[in-house]
Structure 1
Amino acid sequence: MSLQMKKRVFVSSFLLVPLALYAMFVLYPTFKLFQLSFTDWNGLDGAKWIGLDNYREVVQSREVWVSLRNNLIYFLTGLVGVAFSLFLAVLLTGKLRFAKGFRSIVFAPFILNATAVSFMFGFLYETESGAINVALRALGLGFLEQRWLSDASVVNVSLALIVVWKTVGFYMVILIATLQSIPEDLYEAAVIDGAGKWQSFRFITLPCISDIVKLSVFLVFTGSVQTFEQPFLLTGQGGPGYASMTFALYSVHEAFQFSRYGLASAMAVVLIAIVLVVQLTQHILVREKGDNHEDFK
């Protein structure tokens, strides 16, 4: 065996194990997921082939559309969180005293366990003895009290704010890293040309960080459509009624409470398709921007 062949065999032997694990834990489960999405299976008896019936039910189900609407609330609230993260990133990148300490404080919630954070906010959101309503009464703002987790009109925003509180530090950190990579020469030239802070932010900062902002928006989207812990732990699995039911929670609900694994698999496939479409759209937008830059050059 030649030296070149030995090198190939040596490298291939190292790749064999991770490829086998990838096929076992990713490719095969994905294939089975697609297969089960065309069946009616209760988890015990044999799976019965029913074609596209599960997908028709997903499209026609009122509960599915309610859950997607709730996911949209998470997404829109998450966008507000990204905007706040950008504000903090710009503020803490400047010459502010104790900036590093503030960064650590804001980032700290991101490393906390999601279950612990949910239960902590559960105590804050309690109607009678929760810290939020108690503080509102103490400040003479009792008219602002809410049933944060049992009122269908506010429950999704209440739960989405938990996610924002936990993730705002993460987006702040990646935005700070991007802001610090912008050459200072650009800002110095802008000042010489008479640009103010807003003009510098609009024409220098935003264009330089636009790709990271788009990435943050995509991460917010994927996180919002996969939201599970907060409604599962705090609202009795999507209560009141289906008011806080999310798409991921509803699919788990159908699978493990009603043993409709075929329908749950179809919902998972739909979720994968939604994420792929959004990712493809983002990729096209970013590529078009790069092509435009090349044309400009």
Structure 2
Amino acid sequence: MRRLTPYAFLSVPLLFLIVFTYIPVANMFWYSVTDWDGLSPTKEFVGPANYVEIFTRPELFGVLKVSLYYVAGSVVQILLALYFAAVLSFSTWFRNVYKGFIFFPYLINGVAIGMIFLFFFQPGGTLDSALGAVGLGGASQQWLGDPAVVNYSLAGTSVWRYLGLNFVLFLGAIQSIPPHLYEAAELDGAGRWAQFRWIILPGIRPVVGLSFILAVSGSLSVFEIPFIMTGGANESETFVIQTVNMAFKYYKFGLASAMAVVLLVIILIVTWLQRRIAPDEKVTLS
């Protein structure tokens, strides 16, 4: 009976995983080879026709360039999270308050964040008022209406929202490093920068690698922030927004499912390449 206890506890989450993950993914693969409109009770099998259409229509892949803004934002986000985590891992005035401020945005619903920054970036909104207050009113512009700057605005919003997640991951990893290593380094005359370079960074390398993988995959599949704030207008449409529009606006569920499969494959390939280029190395700190 004791041998069956672990399986009994695992049965419920495994059932949810099958019902809400594996079955929908299997259905997605099936829909991707049909010409289903999402309404008809019948699904006409068309084979690889949807995939052929995807790879013969360059505009469907052209929106992937928008993801580059989010990739760049993710790099900035990881660097900032690493900096704050390293600084606040040491004794600092009001560090718990700072931790709360940094992590709090991650707790806010994505729709709420989109609405907040929609007012933040609107003409005459919070950002323009702040620029005018410091004498930079001339820098005001159409932050969400100009194709040249809209993706910078959206990527900046994403950085603000997800900074807290990486910060907590890095802070937890740093705090798991044995304290006596810092003491030994201080006795040897090592400053904060030397401690960060030779103790902290090697000690949290696997977590940093994981954060980069999550950041890149998230950048390729970004959806809610641009969808809420611009709806994909002004050259801010992402691959996921295009996929959703293909399904629910043009009623081409088969083609949309094929696009989702292609995005899944792209993310898997990018993740595999990241693991090959920068594999995790076991670091022993003692």
Q: Is 1:177 aligned with 2:166?
A: no
Offset of 1:33 from its aligned partner?
A: 0.7
The answer for the alignment partner of 1:120 in structure 2 is 116
Alignment equivalent of 1:69, drawn from 50, 65, 74: 65
2:32–2:255 Cα contact (<8 Å) kept: yes
Tell me the percent identity. Answer: 38
Q: Max radius of gyration: which structure?
A: 1
| CA distance in structure 1 between the partners assigned to 2:209 and 2:267 by the alignment | 14
| CA distance in structure 1 between the partners assigned to 2:243 and 2:142 by the alignment | 27
2:213–2:271 Cα contact (<8 Å) kept: yes
Q: Is 1:82 aligned with 2:74?
A: no
Instruction: String of CA shifts for 1:161-198, please: whole Å, max 9, x gaps.
Output: 11111111121112111111112322333334343332
Offset of 1:9 from its aligned partner?
A: 6.6
Alignment equivalent of 1:150, drawn from 145, 153, 163: 145
2:205–2:280 Cα contact (<8 Å) kept: no
The answer for the alignment partner of 1:247 in structure 2 is 239
Structure-2 change in CA distance of 1:19 and 1:168 (3 Å)? closer
Let me know the Cα RMSD of the aligned residues. 2.3
The answer for the alignment partner of 1:200 in structure 2 is 195
The answer for the alignment partner of 2:105 in structure 1 is 109
Offset of 1:16 from its aligned partner?
A: 5.0
Offset of 1:99 from its aligned partner?
A: 0.5
Structure-2 change in CA distance of 1:169 and 1:16 (3 Å)? closer
| CA distance in structure 1 between the partners assigned to 2:280 and 2:195 by the alignment | 24
Q: How does 1:1-297 map to 2 (within 5 A)?
A: 17-45=12-40, 46-127=42-123, 129-235=124-230, 237-240=231-234, 243-284=235-276, 289-290=281-282
Structure-2 change in CA distance of 1:144 and 1:11 (3 Å)? closer
1:66–1:245 Cα contact (<8 Å) kept: no
Structure 2 unaligned segments of length 5 or more: list them. none
Structure with the higher helix share, 1 or 2: 1
Instruction: String of CA shifts for 1:253-291, please: whole Å, max 9, x gaps.
Output: 10000001111101111122122223334444665624x
Instruction: Classify the secondary structure of the residue corresponding to 1:289.
Output: coil
The letter of the residue matching 1:272 is: L
| CA distance in structure 2 between the partners assigned to 1:112 and 1:13 by the alignment | 35
| CA distance in structure 1 between the partners assigned to 2:7 and 2:176 by the alignment | 38
| CA distance in structure 1 between the partners assigned to 2:280 and 2:274 by the alignment | 10
| CA distance in structure 1 between the partners assigned to 2:239 and 2:216 by the alignment | 13
1:114–1:229 Cα contact (<8 Å) kept: yes
Q: How many residues align?
A: 283
Structure-2 change in CA distance of 1:254 and 1:91 (3 Å)? same
Offset of 1:49 from its aligned partner?
A: 2.3
What's the TM-score, normalizing by structure 1?
0.86
Offset of 1:65 from its aligned partner?
A: 2.5
2:217–2:271 Cα contact (<8 Å) kept: no
| CA distance in structure 2 between the partners assigned to 1:286 and 1:265 by the alignment | 31
1:211–1:286 Cα contact (<8 Å) kept: no
Structure-2 change in CA distance of 1:9 and 1:260 (3 Å)? same
Structure-2 change in CA distance of 1:268 and 1:104 (3 Å)? same
| CA distance in structure 1 between the partners assigned to 2:33 and 2:58 by the alignment | 21
Structure-2 change in CA distance of 1:22 and 1:197 (3 Å)? closer
| CA distance in structure 1 between the partners assigned to 2:188 and 2:97 by the alignment | 34
Instruction: String of CA shifts for 1:109-151, please: whole Å, max 9, x gaps.
Output: 1111111111111111012x21111222232212321211111
What's the TM-score, normalizing by structure 2?
0.89
